[in-house]
Amino acid sequence: MNGPALVLVDQHDGALSSPTRELLTIAREVAPGQAPAAVWLGDAGELAMSELGAFGVGTVYVPEFGGTSPFVAAAAAEALAAVVEVAAPSVLFFSSTFENKEIAAVLAVRLGTGVLADGTGVRVDAAGTVIIEKTVFAGTWTSWCAVTGGTALIGLKAHATEPQEVAAATRPVVETVAVSFTPSASAVRVVERTERHAGGGRPELPEARIVVVGGRGTEGDFSLVEELADVLGAAVGATRVATDEGWIDHSAQIGQTGVTIAPKLYIGAGVSGAIHHRSGMQAAETIVAVNTDSDAPIFELADLGIVGDLNDVLPQASAELRRLRGE
Ligand SMILES: Cc1cc2nc3c(=O)[nH]c(=O)nc-3n(C[C@H](O)[C@H](O)[C@H](O)COP(=O)(O)OP(=O)(O)OC[C@H]3O[C@@H](n4cnc5c(N)ncnc54)[C@H](O)[C@@H]3O)c2cc1C
């Protein structure tokens, strides 16, 4: 590969997000022998530097925003374009969040390059081209895609790999990058910003390793779904029926018109497995389904299918997990 792999850092309270750690691991794998570079939009503190060093980062690029907000997609894209010019990376990895995908789309137009989002895996071919795996057509096909010219902009979903620190941590060099923002990028002033946290101390849905999902079969009572989620340290998700009924917030909706997830474990309770829902969850590594109807379509893709009433099965599962832990 020509040039290092660059990773756009996502952070929570100054610490690297879990998907960012995965991207840094992948960045080392796709460009062996080259220290990955990172780009931090905002003020990178001491904690960030030591964490980036633990993943072997060589250079951290910090664009100078001045009075312009890094939280405006156009401004973030212009800052990244300036970093790409300085760092000349072969590939820029970003986690596939709504915000990052918007930034990447604007950046791709500016750079005249290609952007691929929602990848679930990466490999490099003999010519050094980064190829990503992604499901398409509502999850019915798995495709392998590559950007064939310029700096490849590649978005990966959480859990694309296991994060792995390097044996000997580096001390990243911080390089500030001057940016001349266009008037339109500076025109928006962000007056306040509040990070939305998942309720009940649960992990964020797109990043969670385990997700417990409730559908119409819950008949509006999510307490058993939430109980099992809490025993497992999981996020709570829902079908569109459940969110449209107002049983749970719309941000919990998984599927074609909701969030796309790729957790290690998906547990669906009272979920039929309609095509619009499947497209958002079938990249899960292991799928468990609880449904009273043995002909429910979700059993076609389930690794473990339980034909039964969720009101019986979920409390038993929660109780057994607690018993195994000696609680
Ligand atoms: C354009 C478009 C976009 C859409 N986008 C989305 C999307 O993003 N996400 C999404 O989820 N849907 C989406 N939908 C809706 C989707 O087509 C389905 O209607 C929806 O996913 C079904 O939700 P469900 O599985 O909860 O309900 P149902 O299909 O009604 O299934 C309920 C299941 O629960 C089982 N059940 C009932 N009682 C129990 C019990 N006590 N214990 C165990 N099992 C029980 C039943 O056997 C049944 O299989 C979209 C639809 C359209 C047209």
If you take atom 47 of ligand 1, which residue's CA is the nearest one?
293
Q: Is the CB of 139 under 6 A from ligand 1?
A: no
Strands 11-12 and 115-119: unpaired
Q: How far is CA 15 from the centre of its chain?
A: 16
Confidence category of residue 11, pLDDT binned at 50, 70, 90: confident
Q: Is the pLDDT of residue 298 over 90?
A: yes
Domains 5-186 and 199-324 are alike in CATH topology: yes
Q: What's the Cα-to-Cα distance from 324 to each of 223, 230, 244, 317, 327, rounded to whole Å?
A: 21, 15, 36, 11, 8
Confidence category of residue 135, pLDDT binned at 50, 70, 90: confident
pLDDT at 297: 97
- H/E stretch holding 93 reads strand 91-95
The verdict on pTM exceeding 0.75 is yes
Residue closest to 161 by CA, chosen among 201, 133, 197: 133
Say how many Å lie between the CA of residue 238 and the centre of ligand 1.
Answer: 9
Query: 47-61, 130-144, 160-174, 187-201: which range is least confident on average?
Result: 187-201
More confident call, 97 vs 163? 163
| Model confidence pLDDT, tens digit, residues 199-221 | 668 998 988 999 999 999 999 99
Q: Is the pLDDT of residue 122 over 90?
A: yes
The rounded mean pLDDT for the chain is 93
pLDDT at 199: 63
Beta partners for residue 115, in sequence order: 153
CATH topology of domain 5-186: Rossmann fold (3.40.50)
Which residue of 247, 276, 316 sits with most ligand 1 atoms within 8 Å of its CB, as the best mutation to test the pocket?
276
Q: Is the CB of 309 under 6 A from ligand 1?
A: yes
Q: Is the CB of 245 under 6 A from ligand 1?
A: no
Q: Are 252 and 282 in contact (CB under 8 A)?
A: no
Q: Is the pLDDT of residue 150 over 80?
A: yes
Residue closest to 157 by CA, chosen among 132, 182, 176: 132
More confident call, 271 vs 118? 271
In the numeric block, the tokens 């040039």 are attached to 3
Q: Are 271 and 243 in contact (CB under 8 A)?
A: no
Say how many Å lie between the CA of residue 146 and the centre of ligand 1.
Answer: 34
CATH topology of domain 199-324: Rossmann fold (3.40.50)
| Model confidence pLDDT, tens digit, residues 62-90 | 999 998 999 999 999 999 999 999 999 99
pLDDT at 228: 97
Say how many Å lie between the CA of residue 264 and the centre of ligand 1.
Answer: 22
Q: Is the CB of 252 under 6 A from ligand 1?
A: no
User: What's the CA gap between 306 and 320, in Å, rounded?
Assistant: 16
Give the percent of the chain with pLDDT over 70.
97
Tokens of 283: 């990249």
Q: Is the CB of 143 under 6 A from ligand 1?
A: no
| Model confidence pLDDT, tens digit, residues 217-270 | 999 999 999 999 999 999 999 999 999 999 999 999 999 999 989 999 999 999
Say how many Å lie between the CA of residue 271 and the centre of ligand 1.
Answer: 5
pLDDT at 284: 93
Domain limits, the chain: 5-186, 199-324
Q: Are 38 and 94 in contact (CB under 8 A)?
A: no
